[in-house]
Structure 1
Amino acid sequence: MFLIDENLSYKLAARLEDDFMGIEAVSKVTSLGEGSSDEQVWKYAKNHQLAILTRDKDFVDYWSRLGPPPKVIHLIITNSRLSAIESLIKQNRILIHQFLSENNNGLLRIRA
């Protein structure tokens, strides 16, 4: 389903597992781990058919240059509290599921 970039808490994976199956956090993936480069994350997501969930605009830049796959879900939120991010994702779960299942341009921006 998707890969949580390390600019978001790995704790999101457990909090979102009821709404989204197949969530992985970069910091918990053995072959990636903390400190992985954006390029490594991009390649991992592409090779494992995962979308990238991120607050990092760099992945939008990758998407602009390379196109999908992987798809990118870019969260635009100033509040970095885990509960606020979790709430934003859950409020948009239907939109996210549609985005992941449809053939589209590969970029979804969700603004708080």
Structure 2
Amino acid sequence: MPSFLIDVNLPYYFSIWNTDEFIHQKDINDEWSDEKIWNYAKENNLTIISKDSDFSNKIIMSSPPPKVLHIRFGNMK
């Protein structure tokens, strides 16, 4: 059962999250709005991993769940 939801703005093929503990948004619906992603993560007790500052801003205004890991690094291929 996954514990982490990888946002669509992070690469799909990345060895770190190539386990059952992670689910990529692309496997669910890569066209969901941030609100739908947020609600899905909350309902399924998932931690969102994203480069999108919208999630880290939203967590300031509301208490978990879901939890958010905001990754900040340059562009990746």
Classify the TM-score, shorter chain.
0.7 to 0.9
Q: How many residues align?
A: 75
Q: Percent identical across equivalent pairs?
A: 33
- Counting helix residues as a fraction of each chain, which structure ranks higher? 1
Q: Report deviation, 1:47.
A: 0.6
CA distance in 2, matches of 1:76, 1:28: 23
Q: Which has the larger radius of gyration?
A: 1
Paired position in structure 1 for 2:76: 81
The runs of 5 or more residues in structure 2 that have no matched partner are none
Q: Report deviation, 1:16.
A: 2.1
Paired position in structure 2 for 1:93: none
* TM-score, scaled relative to structure 1: 0.61
RMSD, aligned α-carbons: 1.6
Q: For 1:11-90, list aligned pairs within 5 A.
A: 11-12=13-14, 15-17=15-17, 21-29=20-28, 33-78=29-74, 80-82=75-77
CA distance in 2, matches of 1:17, 1:7: 14
* TM-score, scaled relative to structure 2: 0.86
